Amino acid sequence: MGNDNIIVSTRIRLARNVNGLPFPHKLAEQPARQIVDSVEKALSPIDRFTRYDMSGISQLESTLLREKHLVSPDLVKECPYGAALISADENVSVMVNEEDHIREQVILSGLSLDQAYDRINRIDDILSKKVDFAFDGRYGYLTACATNVGTGMRASVMMFLPALTINNMIESCINDVGRLNMTVRGVYGEGSKAEGYLYQISNQHTLGLKESEILDSVKAAINHIAEAELHARKLLMRDESELKDRILRAWGIVTNAYKLSTAEAMQLLAMIRLGGYYGYFAIKDYDDFQRLVTDCQPASILRRGGAADADGRDVLRARYVSSALGGLCVKKI
């Protein structure tokens, strides 16, 4: 077992803007609403997309979308005319009037860079026939942030890196991939923490690069990190007694706790996932296991009928995680 315990998901995002219009932070309400309508109309033949206008949905609903990585924190908090169009399978999300007029995004499980690129490229081709994108023959796609000018593409992979973190080797690894034009962020992007040992690795620049070159550089970076993580996991086995105790304590707490905070649940589930690598547990499906991690987030717990206060959510989270884990994971030792 290797990459299925390290690579969590793949995301490719394209930044696009409408030719002749100011960027969203300078855009008036009427043209901003027209962009949303135009994108919605262009997407309608592709799939059944659900439209979410940020000004018209509840805080619970917007937070739930953010927890699923379908919208950015900035779209939720800072974009009065922002909207998101999300496909039925929730693999495709198109944010409108965030930092750029249009942010196309595809998220797939596992290491799926080529598949994600093919899907987003088809979506981009369809949108470009209906929307006049701002494009310069020399610089490429014009974007609000200079680091996105060019292809406008960010390719990222979510990685589970507990051993590098526990062994205090993560900073050195981050510095290594930084020299490969990569950046490493927390689970919810820029400024967020790597909760549950989850990190996003993505390209830093797009100008002067082809899409294929970006994909190749991301693949090289994640291969380097995955090899480092596997090496770090071997190092943890130098004191297997301590490692086994730490992992089995996580199992004992998560299956018996009366209350669990979000951060604690993510940390404990991370140790159980690591235990799956060492054969201490049989994890039936890593995608389902990751969905359990997402379902531990506050809005997801509230949607399940939890109390609005933090204490009530913690009680429901503990009950839910213990029950769900029984169907996903079998203790082998």
Burial 251-264 (b: 16+ CB within 10 A, else e): bebbbebebbbbeb
Domain boundaries, the chain: 240-331
Q: How confident is the model at residue 1 (pLDDT cuts 50, 70, 90)?
A: very low
* The predicted structure's pLDDT at residue 189: 57
Q: In the block, which residue shows the tokens 């995301």?
A: 11
pLDDT at 191 > cutoff 60: no
* The predicted structure's pLDDT at residue 305: 75
- Compute the 3-state secondary structure of the chain and give helix, strand, coil in percent, each to the nearest 5: 50, 20, 30
* The predicted structure's pLDDT at residue 256: 96
Amino acid at 134: A
Q: What is the pTM of this model?
A: 0.91
User: Can you read off the two tokens belonging to residue 252?
Assistant: 């004992």
CA–CA gap between residue 185 and residue 267 (Å, rounded): 17
Mean pLDDT of 19-29: 94
DSSP 120: H
Helices 286-295 and 310-328: crossing angle in degrees, nearest 10, is: 170
Mean pLDDT of 232-259: 96
Amino acid at 313: R
pLDDT at 164 > cutoff 90: yes
CA–CA gap between residue 241 and residue 301 (Å, rounded): 35
